[in-house]
Every structure is written in structure tokens, then in C-alpha cells.
Amino acid sequence: MAERQRVSPQMRTAEILDFLRKTPGVFLTNNERDLSQSDYMCRIMPQTTLKVAPYRDATGYFAFEIFGGATMHMDLIKKQVNPFEKLRLVRKAMPNTLIQGLCRGKHLFGYRPYPDNVVEMTVRLFSKYVDVWRMYDCMNYIPNLVVAANAVKEAGRLLMPCICFSTGEGHTDDFYLGKVEEVLSLLGENIVLCIKNHSALGSPARIAELVGAIRKRFPSLLISYHGHNTDGNDLARLMAAVQEGVKIVEVADHGFGGSYSQTPALSAIQNLRDYGFKTPGLSIAPVLDASDILRRERRLYDEFTGSFHGFDPTVKRHKLPGGALRMAMEQAEKAGLLERAHELFNEVIQVGRELGNIWVVTPGSQLLWATAMSNVLNGRYEKPSDDLKRLLLGRYGPFPFYDPPEWIFKKVLESGRADGKGWDEILADEGGLQDLADEDFKARRLQLESKLKRLSTNEELCIYLQFPRDALEFMKFEERFGKTWLLPPEVWFHKGGFPDGTRISFADEAGKTHNIDLISTRKTADGVQTSLLVDYHFQTYKTQKGGD
């Protein structure tokens, strides 16, 4: 029966795992979250996602990743969307597809660790919508995942712990097999293991070798492969992974990706079928339909594709993942360092090596790049950031392969210290992971409510605990302007004033059409007066300042 070919959000975790084990073939996960983050600076708006949702839902993907990573913060500060609401809308629009999210373990969706009770509450609340929790730690330090992973299991959701993949000194099969062992012993066996190749590293042969080694040691383990096409070679790696027994691979829509995000779904499907792999439950027609729509949408996001285009095979050396690379180049441009890009990238490579050849993934990727920038601008390790100090203090976890040289410890840890303590003393006294005290939810709720001047929901408290300032700003925004995700992206990202006669037309959540017609714009001494026909009712709005 056709329905048996797909997993469904109604299935329990055990049923999903059982289904994956028993069904021959390969499953695809569409990762819009990563596409948005890697190719569009996290700016893809809910209206675009919802527009193609029916087609993606009809495709028969294993899951649709739309949540986590940097998106939660960006939803709040750049898109003014409540992450819970976005998930609710996606859930409603894609009732047949599992929703997947990416979580940074105890760092959740941020850059610093959170207290255990915040981690637990967050996972519990988001599990209402998130069926699959892909989870990683930037140091591959598995104990950092335990609290969040337990919360996922408690919520009855599917856990997909990642081992972050990289190359060079220390990154051997033996090392990774040890990590898988650790994952299984600390997080349990009812999981899908994800190989997270965020930097598009390794040749297809290297990936085949790694997958083969894992499969040999853990034959019944379900494995998914998350890769990036930064170098243009991810399809080959994906195929190599599948040939060695990977069950789930991550892909993107060809009409929207094609840069540093995932391999195009259609290319993957064609290759898989040509090589004789089954793709159970998967239909090609909706993949084409989705991309036809997305091709028209992508021009709305042009300004976020940045000036750095095209595949970058040098990623093998600098290892910066797609989204980080784009941000890095923007920062370099702002700092006037674009001409010295070569120098910068050499510095990234050097810093990466010096700092233990760890994985260049959030928050490590930002840390490495910022350190390299600072080194080029201010002299090597002359102005170390707090995050670098935290890395050397072992706040993120122990260095897995080798420690950075002592002179770096000395320069970084002793920098800006008034107490004259030596680096080894600092390390001995202050080093290691920190035990964070649980948050006092009652007190924080009171704090939030006194700022909002109204009662708050648990979901609001949850986002407030993670991003206090930005969440509060967002809530005030929402109170003032309402559900602005209803506005089309071309309005949200509009540049310049609207010409008289412009019609903005959109549907509300119930599908009803609304029209806002621009009648006139009048600039006065103290601001701008915009007259609109709002659903055929004349309204004039005064904006105090602004306009040219």
C-alpha cells in the first residue's frame, strides 16, 4: 500500500525506526533550515515556505528540517516571527511529513550553554512540533548532548545525534568509531546517527570509508548523512555514503539551493534510481512543482545571497561552512579586509591548526573566523575574544586531539587579567565545563511579565530565557504590528518608498484576501504621512522620522 511507503508524524519513535530498518531503499530529508542559513543568511520568510509546503508535503520526504541552528534567533531579530508560530504553521501546512530541527545540545540554538532546566523546558515545548531532533556538539563532546537528548526521548520524539565530521590530524576512523560508541552508550540505541559534514570535507572515498567502518562495527545502526555542496562535490559523497549503507540523506530544492547548501533533491533521486536504489514513497512531480515556485521566489532574496558566489573547493583547507563563509566575507568587506582575503583565509587555516584542529561549526566557526580577523587586524592573539578564552578554558569541552601550544594559552588567558595570575594557574582554577545553576522560572516570568505588562505564555517564557533582549523586542513588535509574517517577502524586504497606486495583496491564515493600496505619501516637517486604503478603508499613518 502506498501509505506504508512513508513515515508519518502519527508514528511512534519505535515505529519510525522499525519502518526505516524494514523498508529497503533510501530516504530524503529536505533541509530548508540549512538552505536558508547557508545560502540566504537565514532570511527565507514563512510565506515562501508555506507557498511550497503542499508540494514538499506531497513529495514523501522522510523529514523537513525547518527549525533550529541559527534560525530561531534570526526569526526573532530579522523576520519578527515567533519560532513556535512558524512551526505551528508548517505543521498545519505539512501534516504528512516529519518536522526536523537542529539543536546544539546544551547550547540549544545559541552560542553559550544554558542551564539544564532551560534545555529541558525548551526541548519539551518545541517537541510539540518537532518530530526529529538532530543534535550536535561543536567539540563532539557527547556529554554536552545528554540533557537535551534525554528531554527528546522523554517527549517521545526521534533523536538523531550527530558526529561532526572533519579531516586532518586526529580525524581517523578509530576516533569517530569511539565517538559513535560514546553516543550509543550515553544516548541509547534507539536513534538515527547523523554524519554531519557541514564543511563539505572529505572525498567520496573518505566518506565511504567512514560509513563502511561504522556499519561494520555497528551493523544495525541507522545512519543519516548531512552534507553541504560547498565544493560542488556533495552528490558524489552522498552517493558514496548511500552505497555504504546510509539510510537517510539530506537534500535541497534545485530551484532554491544550488550554492553552499545541500545537493539538489532531483539530482540525488535521479542518481539513486540509476544506481538501483529504491526511494520509497517519493514522488518526483511535486519536487518539480516546488522548484518551479521557488525559482520565482528566489529573486526576492537576492540581496541575501551576498557577493561571494560559486563553488569553493578551497573549503577543504579553510573548512568554513557555507553560511559562515558568506558571513565571513561580509564581515571582511565591512572591515575593509576584502583585498586581504587570501591572508585572512591563510590565518583561518593556521588558527584552526593551532586551536586543536577542532570542527569548524557553530559556535566554533564564528570563533575561528573572529580570531583570524582579529589576528590579521591586531596582531596574532593580541586581542583575544571572550569566546576564545572560553574555548581555551575548556568551557565547550576538552580538546579532542591535542591542546593548543602554551604560548597561545599564555597570551589569551593572561590577556586583560588584573590579578597577575599565570595561565596555568587560571586553567587549573577556572578551567573545565561549568555547572550552571537552574533558572528560577517563576522569577524570570515575573520579570518578563512586568516588562510586557501582561501575562505571558510558556512559549514566550521559553524564547525569553534564551534571548532575553531580542525576544522581548520581538514580543513588543508583535503587539504593535501583529502577525507580519502574513506580508509577502517583497513587502518585508522592500527597498525605497512604495509608488502611489501600489497594491499589496495577501491572504490571512484563514485564506481570505486582504488588500492594502498605497494612495499617497506626503513628507512633512516632522515625518511622513502615508495614506492607505486598508481593505478599502482609507487610513492615514504618521511616521515621526524616516524617509529621505
Partner 1 sequence: MFKKLLVANRGEIAIRIMRSAQELGIKTVAVYEETDKTSMHIMRADEAVCIGSGPRRDYLNIERIIQAAQRTGAEAIHPGYGFLAENPAFPKQCTEAGLVFVGPPPQVIIDMGSKVIARRVMSEAGIPSIPGTSVLPAGDEGKRLAAEFAEKHRFPIMVKAVAGGGGRGIRVAQNRSELERFIEVGRSEAKMAFGNGDVYLEKGLTNPRHIEVQILADRHGNVIHMGTRNCSIQRRHQKMIEIAPAFLPDYLTEKICRTAVQAARACNYLSAGTVEFLLDQEDNYYFLEVNTRIQVEHTVTEVITGIDIVREQLLVAAGSPLSVTQEDVSFRGAAIELRITAEDPKNNFMPNPGLIEIYQSPGGHGTRMDGAVYQGYEIPRYYDSMLCKLTVYGFTWKEAVDRLRRSLDSFLIAGVKTTIPYYKQIVTDADFINQDFDTSYIETHPRLLDYQEEVPPIGKLASLVAEINAYGYNPYS
Closest CA to 224 of 203, 208, 253, 245: 245
Instruction: Map grid coordinates 533558572 to a residue.
Output: 439
Cβ nearer to partner 1, comparing 306 with 497: 497
Compute the least distance from the CB of residue 300 to partner 1, in Å.
12
Longest dimension (CA), the chain: 75
Cβ nearer to partner 1, comparing 429 with 535: 535
Instruction: Map grid coordinates 540505541 to a residue.
Output: 189
Compute the least distance from the CB of residue 37 to partner 1, in Å.
17
Cβ nearer to partner 1, comparing 385 with 531: 531
Compute the least distance from the CB of residue 323 to partner 1, in Å.
18
Compute the least distance from the CB of residue 407 to partner 1, in Å.
44
- Contacting residues for 244 by C-beta, under 8 A, at least 6 apart: 207, 208, 211, 212, 215
Cβ nearer to partner 1, comparing 380 with 494: 494
Compute the least distance from the CB of residue 505 to partner 1, in Å.
12
- Give the SS3 label for residue 28: strand
In degrees rounded to 5, what are phi and psi of residue 224?
-115, 155
- Give the SS3 label for residue 213: helix
Cβ nearer to partner 1, comparing 127 with 502: 502
Cβ nearer to partner 1, comparing 312 with 517: 517
- The helix (H) or strand (E) run that includes residue 363 is none
Compute the least distance from the CB of residue 352 to partner 1, in Å.
33
Q: How far apart are CA 367 and CA 528, in angstroms?
A: 43
Q: How far apart are CA 276 and CA 24, in angstroms?
A: 11
Cβ nearer to partner 1, comparing 311 with 498: 498
Cα–Cα–Cα angle for 301, 55, 3, nearest 5°?
Answer: 150
Question: Where do contacts with partner 1 occur on this chain (CB under 8 A)?
Answer: 78-80, 477, 480-484, 486-487, 491-498, 504, 508, 514, 516, 518, 521, 527-528, 530, 532, 534-535, 537-539, 541, 543, 546-548
Q: Is the separation of the CB atoms in 375 and 332 below 8 Å?
A: no
Instruction: Map grid coordinates 505564555 to a residue.
Output: 457
Instruction: Map grid coordinates 547548501 to a residue.
Output: 261
- Give the SS3 label for residue 136: coil
Compute the least distance from the CB of residue 365 to partner 1, in Å.
24
